[in-house]
Amino acid sequence: MGSAPQDKVCVVTGGGTGIGAEIARLFAAQRYRVVVSGRRLQPLDQIAAEIGGLAVTSDVSDEDQVRALFAVCEKTYGRLDVLVNNAAVRGPVMAIDQMDVAGWDEAISINVTGVALCIKHAVPLLKRHGGSIINISSVSGLRGKATRSPYSASKFAVNGLTQAVAFEVGSDGIRVNAICPGGVTGERFVTSQALRAKVLGTTAEALIRTQYEEPSALKRLLEPGEVAQATLFLASDAAAAITGELLVVDCGRIS
């Protein structure tokens, strides 16, 4: 990764909202040329216009669309330096004996297969100059939670994929790491906790307080921008010797 920052290119999947949007903004502020990808064009266009980036619609569970995403990146910029696999779905929030199998399949298809497909088609570009792959995983991929089995299973898989691929591509100058955030402020998190609370017979406010805020050293939730900062660190030369790692970013939550 010896090029000047303004020459570097970053692809962010799930880049239209939330954590992905904050990652796109931060990398653009660091003079990366950013490709934001997702399934809905409107939020992608908004972020791309804001940061001077490129919006490309793509469903990461569809290999033809993933192939097209990286073809557009190559045609437009001629290179790739950083891939951030952020696209994911919540999956069903329910007890395992009530499991919606279609919802399970979607979670695995997007959260796991989608990450693998993006890595598959990014690696040939990354091999040209070296680079970094950062998978946005979750603390749920380190310790499961009741009612979240599809999501937890998918994130455990992402963590294993991260470590396996790191050994495959390290000799090509490509580093592969994952970030495991805890609870991140925003509508998506609140909605997930409301669904969990309904199954568990409590309230979203109580779950957030007792399972996220009170057990954490900092007594609060994460901000999306804090996950973005960790992503930028792993992409940077400051992390040149870090690969195959699962970086927990969760305000010091101990349970």
**Residue 178, Cα to own-chain centre: how many angstroms?**
8
SS3 of the chain: CCCCHHHCEEEEECCCCHHHHHHHHHHHHCCCEEEEEECCHHHHHHHHHHHCCEEEECCCCCHHHHHHHHHHHHHHHCCCCEEEECCCCCCCCCCHHHCCHHHHHHHHHHHHHHHHHHHHHHHHHHCCCCEEEEEECCHHHCCCCCCCHHHHHHHHHHHHHHHHHHHHHHHHCEEEEEEEECCECCHHHHHHHHHHHHHHCCCHHHHHHHHHHCCECCCCCECHHHHHHHHHHHHCHHHCCCCCCEEEECCCECC
Degrees to nearest 5, angle at CA 41 with 249 and 34:
55
Quick one: tokens of 187? 């509508």
Catalytic residue among 32, 77, 151, 212: 151
| Number of alpha carbons in the 13 Å side-chain half-sphere of residue 2 | 3
Active-site residue, 32 included: no
Q: Which residues are catalytic?
A: 151
